[in-house]
Amino acid sequence: MSIKWYEDGTLNLAANCLDRHLQENGDRTAIIWEGDDASQSKHISYKELHRDVCRFANTLLELGIKKGDVVAIYMPMVPEAAVAMLACARIGAVHSVIFGGFSPEAVAGRIIDSNSRLVITSDEGVRAGRSIPLKKNVDDALKNPNVTSVEHVVVLKRTGGKIDWQEGRDLWWHDLVEQASDQHQAEEMNAEDPLFILYTSGSTGKPKGVLHTTGGYLVYAALTFKYVFDYHPGDIYWCTADVGWVTGHSYLLYGPLACGATTLMFEGVPNWPTPARMAQVVDKHQVNILYTAPTAIRALMAEGDKAIEGTDRSSLRILGSVGEPINPEAWEWYWKKIGNEKCPVVDTWWQTETGGFMITPLPGATELKAGSATRPFFGVQPALVDNEGNPLEGATEGSLVITDSWPGQARTLFGDHERFEQTYFSTFKNMYFSGDGARRDEDGYYWITGRVDDVLNVSGHRLGTAEIESALVAHPKIAEAAVVGIPHNIKGQAIYAYVTLNHGEEPSPELYAEVRNWGA
C-alpha cells in the first residue's frame, strides 16, 4: 500500500503559510493570542510571525537539527508553539506535537517511538487559573531509561515558575533566539516529504504515530478551510482546539495561515472564569467564524443563558462543530443561542488520519439537518458496508469506509507500515476503514453513530481501551482491568473501569480515589 499525491512537485509549508503573504498582507494579523487571563492578549502580524519563525529555524539549525529529524513539541497554547511547528516545517524537520495534558509516561512513549532529537517545552502552562508543570513532566519523561535520542530541551519562559535545570541539556528559548538571524531561506521539500507525526489512540494499546506529508496535506487543509468556512479576506477565525490535536494542526494553524487568514489562539477554557468567556472572546475580537467541539457546547448549554450573558455575538457568521457527533439538542442550542439563529452550523466529520474534512456541509449551499454531517467534501467517496464488506445502498446503516484516496490522507504509521495497512485497509479490502459507524438517510445525508472498534471518544478525544487498561494494570494493587464507555451528558462518553484487585488487597474510598487519579 503506497499513497502518493503530487510526487513530482516541491514546496515548503512555512513559505506557503508566511512568505507568500508578506508582499501584499505582511501587516495583516496572522495570530490573535488570547491568554488564560482575559487581560492578556496580543496581535502578531504575518511579518512578525515570519521573523520569529526564521529566527527559530536558525536556532534549530544551530542545535544540529536537520531535514528529516524529529522534534517533539510539548507546549501550552502560546504563539511560540506555532513558531516551533512552522520553524520545523521551514527547515524540513518533522514535528511531533504532544498534547500538554499528557502524562510523563505518555510523553516518554511518544519520544521513544519517534526517536525525537529535541524537545521544545515551557516552564509551565496555564489553564483555568492553574499552572501545568510541563517542564517537570518532560524531566520525568526523560528519566525513562529507554529515552536515549534527546540531546537538548528548549524551554520557553511562560510563567517564570521554579523549575529544575540540567546544564548542557536545557536551554532557554529567549537566549537562543536573541542570537539568531531573522533571515532564512526555506528548505525546498518534495510533496511527499514527511511534515509531522501525530499520535492517536489505537485499539491495541500502543499509540499510533500518524504520519502526514507536505504537499497533499497542505493542499487539503487549505482547500477545506477556504470552502467549508466560506473564508473571505478580513474574516476573524477562531478554532478552540489545542494545537496538540489534529484540529489544532489543520484548522488552528496550517489551513488558516495558508489562506492568509487571521486565526485566534486561546490559552484558556470556554467557561472560565465565567460561563460567558467564550462569548466574551467572540465579542472582544469580533470573531466571524467559530469552530468548537460538542463537549464545549454541552458544557455551556448546561449553564443556560449565563453562557451568553452580557454579550451579543453579532459578529458571528458561521459556526462549526468538530471531534464527535453533535446531538441535535446541542446543535439547536448552538445555532439559537451562540449564533442568534442566523449562522449555518458546519458539522464536520474527519479524523487525525484524514488530515482534513471528509463529510461536511458547505455553508449556504447545503441544507442542514441538526446532528448530521450531511454530505462528502469534493472528491471524497464514502460508502457504508456490512460486516463482510459488501456495499449497502440507499437509506441504511453500516461501517463507514472511504473507497478512494484523497490528498490529505495519512501515508503511514511512523516506523510501522504493516500496522498502517492492517489497521486501515485489512478489515475491508481496498477500502479505508474509519472505525466509525454511520447511518445514511433517504436524502443521502450521513449521520455518524460512533465507534465500532475498541476506541472511546471522550470530549472529542480518541482514547484506546487497551491503553487505559494497561495504565490501570500498572498500579501495584490492581490485577486486572476492563474499560468500557458510558454515556455522559457533557463529554459524550465517559470512561468506566472494572477493576480486580491483587490477592490480599481490600477496596477502600482512599484506593478508589487513588485509582481514579492513577490514569489521569
SS3 for 84-148 is HHHHHHHHCCEEEECCCCCCHHHHHHHHHHHCCCEEEEECCEEECCEEECHHHHHHHHHCCCCCC
Based on the fold, state whether residues 87 and 229 are members of the same structural domain. yes
pLDDT at 519: 66
Is the CB of residue 280 less than 8 Å from the CB of residue 253? Answer: no
**Are 407 and 507 within one domain?**
no
Among left, alpha and beta (phi > 0; psi -120 to 50; other), residue 199 is: beta
Tell me whether residue 304 is in a domain: no
If asked whether residues 112 and 160 sit together in one domain, one would say yes
pLDDT confidence of residue 399: 96
Helix, strand, coil percentages, rounded to 5, for the chain: 30, 25, 45
Q: Is residue 280 part of a domain?
A: no
Q: In whole angstroms, give the CA distance from residue 291 to residue 241.
A: 8
Q: Could you give the CA distance from residue 496 to residue 484 in angstroms, rounded to a whole number?
A: 5
Of 239, 268, 297, the one marking the end of a domain is: 268
Other beta carbons within 10 Å of 146: 9
Question: β-pairing, 262-266 with 289-292?
Answer: unpaired
The 3-state DSSP class for residue 390 equals coil
**Residues 358, 488: one domain?**
no
Residues 145 and 175 in one domain: yes
Instruction: Give dist(CA 275, CA 304) in Å, integer.
Output: 9
Helix boundaries (H) for 11-45: 13-14, 20-25
Rounded Cα–Cα distance for residues 167 and 150 (Å): 14
Parent domain of 367: 352-451
Largest CA distance in the chain: 72
Measured distance between the N- and C-terminal CA atoms of the chain, rounded to whole angstroms: 37
Please, are residues 490 and 327 in contact by the beta-carbon 8 Å criterion?
no
Residues 219-256 have pLDDT tens digits of: 999 999 999 999 999 999 999 999 999 999 999 999 99
Collapse the DSSP code of 365 into the 3-class scheme (helix H, G, I; strand E, B; otherwise coil) and give the result. coil
**Kind and range of the H or E element at 66?**
none
Residue 200 covered by a domain: yes
Would 5 be classed as within a structural domain? Answer: no
**C-alpha R_g of the chain:** 22
The confidence score (pLDDT) of residue 453 equals 80
- CATH number of the domain that 46 lies in? 3.40.50.12780
Q: Is residue 317, in this structure, part of any structural domain at all?
A: no
Summarised one tens digit per residue, pLDDT across range 205-226 is: 788 999 999 999 999 999 999 9
The whole-model pTM stands at 0.92
Pairing of strands 446-451, 432-440: antiparallel
Q: Is residue 464 part of a domain?
A: yes
Half-sphere exposure of 84 (CA within 13 A, CB side): 32
Q: Which of 431, 451, 471 is the last residue of a domain?
A: 451
Distance CA 161, CA 182 (A): 29
Say if residues 359 and 406 touch (Cβ distance below 8 Å). Answer: no
Last residue in a domain, options 213, 237, 268 = 268
511 contacts 319 by C-beta, under 8 angstroms = no
Residue 182's nearest CA partner among 31, 10, 22 is: 22
DSSP 161: -
- Is residue 372 located within the same domain as residue 470? no
Count of domains observed in the chain: 3
CA 328 to chain centroid? 24
For residue 324, tell me if it sits in a domain. no
- For residues 388 and 503, membership in a common domain is answered with no
Q: Is residue 229 in a domain?
A: yes
How many CA atoms lie within 13 Å of 386's alpha carbon, on the beta-carbon side?
6
The CATH number of the domain where 417 resides is what?
2.30.38.10
91, 224: one domain: yes
- Tell me, yes or no, whether 426 and 479 share the same domain: no
Positions of the chain with pLDDT lower than 70, given as ranges? 203-204, 519-520
Considering the domain architecture, whether residues 256 and 124 belong to the same structural domain is answered as yes
Instruction: Quote the CA–CA distance of 213 and 125 in Å, as a whole number.
Output: 29
* Same domain membership, residue 112 and residue 162: yes
Please tell me whether residues 84 and 198 are part of one structural domain: yes
